[in-house]
Amino acid sequence: MTSPPLGTEAVYRRPTASQPYGRQKPLWELGIAVGGGYVPDYPAAAQNHFKAIALPYVIYRGDFLSAGEGAILKGRIVKTSRFEFDVSLNGSFAADSNANDLRKGMNDLDYLGEIGPRLQILIARAVDGRKVEMELPVRAVFSTDLSSVDYRGVVFHPELAYQNPDFINYGIKFKLSGGPIFATERLQDYFYEVPAAFVTATRPRYEAGAGYLGSTLAAKAVMPVSQSVNLFALGEIGLYTGAENADSPLHGEDVNFSLGLGITWSFYQSERMVTR
């Protein structure tokens, strides 16, 4: 059974002074997501490539465990009116080194997965649901070629985030966020180290170090088309001037950009609704 169309009282709960902005959504959904983007091969890469993906997804909106919104999987440990502490997962695409001029002949970069705790601190919130938060995630990073898994260190990415659940009064969920990225030596090695075996006339030996990796400014918009279909758009700018490993021969550009578009179709939704 699907939820009522967008715009009805069963979907929206209008804000009041005693009841801040919220929206009635199914407890869980099953769907298909299709998306593509023009993204850099790795942070500070000199080249972008188009990558696309189509896959089924599950959204679950439980009080403790949630999936498919804001993170691949999120387990909420503590939640108050101003603080939320959870454990979440995230991931990124693989890259073919032979398609990248600076990495040609080196090992490919595998799919990356991240897991770790995140503290969210509410800075300001309006009655209509707009809010500003500080997000403080610390995640362990793993790489996989789908046949094995390797540990790649730890990343810390504090961000200041503005969110508007009804951007331009059309039900568009909008998020603007940005902040610095810090990584341990092991992750920096993965992106920027040049071992002796891969030295060339234009690619000298380089040992990477831990520290500041760069900064990002990202925007995301999700627009409902119907009760079961959403369009989404993503954009991100990466700034790598002053990065710890800016001298690496694999550090190609001080500025990267990413653009992505996609669509989700929720073909089955639970009858039970929750306010989110």
| pLDDT of 64 | 65
- Give the pLDDT mean for 7-25: 45
CA distances from 88 to 3, 71, 91, 118, 209 (A): 27, 6, 11, 7, 26
Inform me whether the pLDDT recorded for 138 exceeds 80: yes
Report the C-alpha gap between 191 and 249 in whole angstroms.
Answer: 11
Does residue 112 contact residue 142 with C-beta atoms inside 8 Å? yes
Instruction: List domains and CATH numbers for the chain.
Output: 12-275 (2.40.128)
> 184 or 276, which is more confident?
184
pLDDT of res. 77: 64
Q: How confident is the model at residue 7 (pLDDT cuts 50, 70, 90)?
A: very low
pLDDT band at 12 (very low <50, low <70, confident <90, very high): very low
Q: Are 48 and 36 a contacting pair, CB within 8 Å?
A: no
pLDDT at residue 6 greater than cutoff 50: no
Strands 211-224 and 28-40: unpaired
pTM: 0.83
The mean-pLDDT minimum among 72-76, 124-128, 200-204 falls in 72-76
Look at residue 81 in the predicted model and tell me its pLDDT. 80
Size (the chain), residues: 276
Residue of 233, 245, 231 lying closest to 43 (CA atoms): 245
| Bridge partners, residue 174, by sequence | 164, 221
**SS3 of residue 127 by DSSP:** coil
**Model pLDDT, residue 70:** 54
Give the C-alpha separation, 134 to 122, whole Å.
7
Mean pLDDT of all residues belonging to the chain: 87
CA distance 159 to 147: 33
What the block records as the tokens of 64 is 């403790």
Residue 215 pLDDT:
98
